[in-house]
Amino acid sequence: MDPVQDLIKNLASQHGRNRTNLLPILQGVVEQEKYLSEHSMIEIARELDMPAADVYGTATFYSFLEYQKMGTYIIRVCKTITCSMKGKNQILLTIENMLKIGMGETTPDGKFSLLQTNCLGWCHKAPAMLINNEVYTELTPESVRDILTQYLKK
Partner 1 sequence: MVAATYQLKRADFIFKNDNDWKKILDKSLKKPSQELINELMSSELKGRGGAGFPTGLKWKLTAEYRSDKKYVICNADEGEPGTFKDREILSEVPYKVLTAMAVCAHVVGSQEGFIYLRGEYKFLAPELTKVIGEFEHYCKEAGLNFSVKIFLGSGAYICGEETALFESMEGKRGEPRNKPPYPTSFGYLGKATVVNNVETLAHAFTIFKYGAKKFYDLGVQYSRGSKLFSVSGDTPKPGIYELELGMSLQDFVAEFGDGDTKAVQVGGASGFLVPRKRFEKTTIGYRGKLTGISLPTGGSMMLFNSSRSMYNVLDNYLDFFREESCGQCTPCRVGCQQLHSGIKAVKRGEKPAQYLNKLLKLTETMQLTAKCGLGQSVANSFSSIVENFREEMIY
149 touches partner 1 (CB under 8 A): no
**74/144 with CB nearer partner 1:** 74
51 touches partner 1 (CB under 8 A): no
Q: Give the nearest distance from C-beta 109 to partner 1 in angstroms.
A: 25
Question: Residues 30, 33, 39, 42: is their CA dihedral positive or negative?
Answer: negative
How far apart are alpha carbons 118 and 81 in whole angstroms? 9
49 touches partner 1 (CB under 8 A): no
Surface-to-core class of residue 102, CB atoms within 10 Å of its CB (0-12 exposed, 13-18 middle, 19+ buried): exposed
Q: Give the nearest distance from C-beta 41 to partner 1 in angstroms.
A: 13
26 touches partner 1 (CB under 8 A): yes
Q: Give the nearest distance from C-beta 81 to partner 1 in angstroms.
A: 5
Residues 6+ apart with CB under 8 A from 64: 27, 30
**51/100 with CB nearer partner 1:** 51
Site size for partner 1 (CB under 8 A): 37
How far apart are alpha carbons 136 and 142 in whole angstroms? 13
Options 5-13, 14-22, 99-107, 146-154: segment touching partner 1 (CB under 8 A): 14-22
Options 15-23, 33-41, 104-112, 142-150: segment touching partner 1 (CB under 8 A): 15-23
What is the secondary structure of 33-75 as a DSSP string?
HSS--HHHHHHHHHHHTS-HHHHHHHHTT-TTS--S---SEEE
Residues 6+ apart with CB under 8 A from 61: none
- Provide the binding-site residues for partner 1, judged by CB under 8 A: 18-24, 26-27, 54, 57-58, 61-65, 79-82, 84-85, 117-126, 130, 133-135
